[in-house]
Structure 1
């Protein structure tokens, strides 16, 4: 069940990227656990999963419906949008690819459909006009199902107030990504918070030290209650305070530790 630590705060969901990773067999999954039942197990240990496979290829509606059937109530899938939407020179031309992605059957997830993650290459630079055009292409709904969007940018040129203003006007969340490889932008936009923690280390059994996990638990509570956690770099004025559903994913770094990190954070919440 997603944590709601404060009355009136948004739900907090914590998860990992995907559910198929060989080193998790015997470390996260029990020994000899059937591979075909890994989603069943993972979705009962976590409260969300970010699906990476949708970045590389399309899926049939039956696949999304199958995932929804396996996962328990109140579990959420965040979907990484197709690379054909974001890995292009002119983002304003992405309309057809966006429509193809959102129309492939993702609505079969029903109320288990979480945010759509639009991830950009680290070499993609900020072009205000082109990015504004891209944001206007993101549909508010698909077949009557509301869609929520988050953008992950990884070039330092995006760390400007103009980018934040565009996302706030569009109601699109800016992903906060803790990474050693590119700048993090902690400014809040939209009605949700999407955080990707990407620096887990193998020397720590839970990927992060207890102090770090305590700090991220505190940050998640602040985000859910509508605030801005201290110590995270922002480039614009604070966003209005309002409850926001908060998604925290343990991604990359020492990937073998990601499930343990997510479980440790869930335990703190």
Structure 2
């Protein structure tokens, strides 16, 4: 029987860091070509500027053009939605429309998962999470329809799609109250992935499978966003990623709902992002993990 596995995408969270110049980026490399340089060495990059503000359509189109075929972007959801409105206000629909109208659809086939990160102060409220999850568009046509409700804050809206594509959503939570079987059930009902978050912070770290893919964020080993991952840690994560990609769950997985059977899947795609950007740990750790999994930068397109 053929040993099948889902696609594995290893990369970094963001790419424009001053401290990376002269370390990961060669001396003299133009800032405008940093994305191209990073994309030739990674399989995926998490766009995190979208967390802080709407981006110009020109930026989205350049990001698409500056990356090779088969490259995948994850896009971080707007802080205005997750931290300020928290999807509780009636204006959340328009704000969500603005988010999707700014240019996400211009990434076309390079648009990967959308990351929704909630703050440590947000407690689990089943009704609130149900409203939030119900608002998320499941495909590019639904995203286009939502985007058409944008307001004037989007200067140059992009509400086109060349064909219908499934959209993937992942949720990262940082309050212990989310370690609850009811939360896992909600995620599974909406086919949204729980972000497996590894950090030195007191954020919950649980690994319940809730969708047809896994989203992993490695934040560092010393402080919140720093500290290289030693070889033993990378070996452990490589083993877990291999298990997830074959549709199974590690035997020692930390679960909020241990009595619930995970969704059945022969394979799962895995997206892994290193967020330990201080001291240039992230890109080198990503490359080291790719080596352990025998992956190359453009192999995700195969």
Q: Is the shorter-chain TM-score for this pair beyond 0.5, marking a shared fold? A: yes
- Once the two structures are TM-superposed, the CA of residue 145 in structure 1 deviates from its matched residue by 3.9
Report the secondary structure of 2:116's partner residue: strand
Residue pairs, 1:120-135, within 5 angstroms: 120-135=118-133
Residue pair 1:199, 1:254 contacting (<8 A) in 2 also = no
State the SS of the aligned residue for 1:147.
Answer: coil
- Give the CA deviation at 1:96: 1.9
1:1-269 paired onto structure 2 within 5 Å: 7-88=3-84, 91-93=87-89, 94-141=92-139, 142-143=143-144, 144-181=164-201, 182-201=203-222, 207-236=228-257, 237-242=260-265, 243-252=267-276, 254=278, 256-269=280-293
Which whole-Å CA distance do the structure 1 matches of 2:182 and 2:233 have between them? Answer: 31
| Cα separation, 1, equivalents of 2:3 and 2:21 | 38
Alpha-carbon spacing, 1:136–1:92, altered in 2? closer, same or farther (3 Å): farther
Question: Is the deviation greater in 64-73 or in 166-175?
Answer: 64-73
Higher radius of gyration, 1 or 2: 2
Cα RMSD over matched residues?
1.8
What is the DSSP-based 3-state SS (H/G/I as helix, E as strand, rest coil) of the residue aligned with 1:135? helix
Q: Which runs of 4+ in 1 moved over 3 A?
A: none
Query: For 1:133, what is the secondary structure of its paired residue?
Result: helix
Say if 2:210 and 2:263, in contact at 8 Å, map to a contact too. no
| Count, aligned residues | 261
> TM-score of the superposition, structure 1-length normalised?
0.92
CA shift, 1:92, in A, is: 4.0
Given that 1:107 and 1:145 are in contact with CA atoms closer than 8 Å, whether structure 2 keeps it comes out as no
1:252 CA displacement: 2.8
TM-score by length of 2: 0.82
* CA spacing shift, 1:55–1:137, aligned 2, 3 Å: same
Do 1:207 and 1:254's aligned partners in 2 also have CA atoms closer than 8 Å? Answer: no
Could you say if the C-alpha distance between residues 201 and 263 of structure 1 is closer, same or farther in structure 2, counting changes exceeding 3 Å? farther
Q: Would you say the 8 A contact 1:47–1:75 is kept in 2?
A: yes
